[in-house]
Amino acid sequence: MATQGSEDREAGLAAAGRWRAVYAAVTVVVLVWLGLLAVLTRLYS
């Protein structure tokens, strides 16, 4: 059974074992969205 501490750290996902890795991945995805929107602005303005 997962303890409180391990549940807080371990995400248990195949692609990202720890929550830190999940947050890093989400940050990268969001930065990609922002980058794409900046490119869209540049292309069509």
**Position 37 contacts another protein (CB under 8 A):** yes
**Position 3 contacts another protein (CB under 8 A):** no
Question: Closer CB to another protein, residue 14 or residue 41?
Answer: 41
Tell me how far, at minimum, the Cβ of 33 lies from another protein, in Å.
5
Distance, in Å, from the CA atom of 32 to the CA atom of 14, rounded to the nearest integer, reads 22
**Position 30 contacts another protein (CB under 8 A):** yes
Strand partners, 21: none
Distance, in Å, from the CA atom of 36 to the CA atom of 3, rounded to the nearest integer, reads 40
User: CB–CB of 11/17 below 8 Å?
Assistant: yes
**Position 18 contacts another protein (CB under 8 A):** no
